[in-house]
Structure 1
Amino acid sequence: MLQKISALVQRHPVTWRGAWSLVHHLPFLLPHDASYRGIKHLGLPPDGLLLDVGANDGISALSFRRLVPSNPILSIEISPRHEPTLRAMKQRMPKFDYVLVGAGEKHDTLRLFTPIYRGILLHTFAGVDRANVQHTLVVAFGQAIADRCVMLEDNTVIQPLDELNASPAFIKIDVEGMGNAVLRGLRQTLEQSHPALMIEVEPDEIDEMLGFMSGFGYKPMVYDSASDQLNAFQGAAAFFDGGNKNLYFTQ
């Protein structure tokens, strides 16, 4: 039933915005993604830092705060469009901070495209490939609505997250198919801090990711919401056929 409701509200930007706003203001709806519940099975220390890469407007940080209330959270977000929301969260939520920067393997600058529909900022559809953003809008809302969207453009800075000199106990990565580049910029952090990870992975990046992470001694795990547990990864086909998108890594 929840999946049907979710599919319904995401058919139009107006209902999409309404649903997104409800999740922000009604904590019992959190986490916004059931697979986030896997963090409770990692045995994280209560003071262990959560590095939230791809924070969006703070929805992931709010979800983690509900699941692991005592852990400090540092959110990383590429889009300056989310700065007002993240700043407000910092003022009201203890042990939360954010950095406006893009994560990658090396220093770079990228142009970020964020669609807006009649004043509604469609922030979850933002990306660095304008054509891909447009295609995603068509798939989500149809050609007519996609054609009415205006693309906002922002020049953004990219840096390796090793330069944060952070020692996270857990890293979440959700960067629209750029996960491997983010990981390559975290080599030192993985070697020194050995954090657990949860990464949103696309089919065309999973093989490289599995190879990279195995080199650091990590094993992939999948959260099963029915049994509320982390299970061993059974291969890419089973993972994606099961409707999964977030892959856990533990040592």
Structure 2
Amino acid sequence: MRSDVRYVLRHPFYGLRYALFSAYYAVSGFNHRHELYASRKHAGPASFRSYELSDKHVDDVLLGRLLRACEPGDVVYDVGANTGVYSLAVAAVEPTARVVAFEPNPDVAAQLRTNVDRNGFGDRVAVREEGVGEETETRRFHRSTYDELGSFDARNAGAWEASVRDEIDVRVVALDDIASGELPAPDHLKVDVEGYGLEVLRGARETLRSARPTVYFEPHTEGGEDRTDEIASLLRSLGYRIRVRPGAWLCIPTAAEAAETVD
């Protein structure tokens, strides 16, 4: 699908959707910047406030599974945190858990911090304005006209009717470079990164082998190539069993010796 303005103008449904989504992100951004109204959101047993206008993602199957599994003192890595639904819900339901939220888009990271501060979760949620990938480096990030679609892959940033708004250089870290050193190793790893998930997992091989976190993975294929088979193969080679749900993978570590085998 082409994502330029001429295309959506020639197709009324997509044009209407483009207009609605563009308006939503503009108003939501304004609400965050000026901290006008933070509505209460409910995600399972979690209750928190957010300047996000809608209740998107509060009913995600992976979020529900994470909230049920999170125990006192657990460490959660939220990779692709966006405005913070997963991070805020974990902090609300388990006050002793520690959340590390990674968000490379500076504008969205600022919205995430605003939501964290609004709930007084600054001691529970550490916001890192950086991406996560195969190695620690600086990479070009494509910001989308739909904030939520920003990606290191321009094709995903231009999915649906969206287009690439601009490009910026951002810091990217490999989880293997910071887990169990700069940061405590994760008990739970959520990955929702608009087509960049394979790189995230490649940069976390040793962490997955040693820490054995449960992985909550959202596969993306729109706008780019389908690499889900390669992702599944990598996870299985590291000793993970994958439970597939619509638009979601729950990846559970099996016995430690399974990490030595490759499917």
Q: TM-score, normalised by structure 1?
A: 0.71
In structure 2, the CA distance between the partners of 1:70 and 1:174, relative to structure 1 (3 Å rule), is same
| Alpha-carbon distance between aligned partners in 2 of 1:130 and 1:214, rounded to the nearest angstrom | 28
Query: Structure 1 residue 125 and structure 2 residue 149: aligned?
Result: yes
What are the superposed Cα offsets for residues 210-240 of structure 1, whole Å, 9 maximum, x if unpaired? 211112221112xxxxxxxxxxx4xxxxx5x
Change (3 A) 1:95 1:247: same
Which sits farther off after the overlay, 187-196 or 203-212?
Answer: 203-212
What is the CA-CA distance between 1:188 and the residue it aligns to?
A: 1.5
Q: Is the 8 A contact 1:31 1:37 kept in 2?
A: no
In structure 2, the partner of 1:196 is 214
Question: Cα–Cα, structure 1 residues 191 and 12, in superposed 2: closer, same or farther, change >3 Å?
Answer: closer
Match of 2:140 among 86, 111, 126: 111
Residue aligned with 1:168, SS: coil
Match of 2:125 among 96, 111, 127: 96
139, 163, 169: which is aligned to 2:187? Answer: 169
Report how far residue 162 of structure 1 moved.
Answer: 1.2
2:248 corresponds in structure 1 to 246
Equivalents in 1 of 2:240, 2:215: separation in Å?
A: 9
CA gap of 1:25–1:17, structure 2 versus 1, over 3 A, is: farther
Residue identity matched to 2:151: G
| Superposed displacement of residue 17, structure 1 | 5.4
Question: 1:195-217: per-residue Cα shift (whole Å, max 9, x none)?
Answer: 11101113512211221111222
CA distance in 2, matches of 1:39, 1:100: 23
Give aligned pairs, total.
209
Q: CA deviation at 1:113?
A: 2.2
Instruction: Check 1:104–1:69 CA distance in 2 against 1; reply closer, same or farther (3 A cut).
Output: same
Per-residue deviation, residues 11-46 of structure 1 (Å, max 9, x unmatched): 43224555796996322347534211011443x331
Residue 63 in structure 1 maps to residue 89 in structure 2: yes
Distance of aligned partners of 1:132 and 1:53 in 2 relative to their CA distance in 1, 3 Å threshold: closer
Provide the C-alpha distance between the structure 1 equivalents of 2:116 and 2:149, rounded to a whole number of angstroms.
24
Contact kept in structure 1, 2:132 and 2:174, CA below 8 Å = yes
2:231 paired with 1:209: yes
Structure with the higher helix share, 1 or 2: 1
1:180 aligns with 2:198: yes
Q: 2:79 maps to which residue? A: 53
* Secondary structure at the counterpart of residue 189 of structure 1: helix
Deviations 1:67-91 (A, max 9, x none): 5454211101112223433333454
CA deviation vs aligned residue, 1:88-139 (integer Å, no higher than 9, x gap):
34542131102122111123322222234xxxxx3102123445433x252x
Name structure 1 gaps, 5 residues minimum. Answer: 1-6, 117-121, 141-145, 222-232, 234-238
Distance 2:19 2:217 in 1: 23
Root mean square deviation of aligned Cα: 3.1
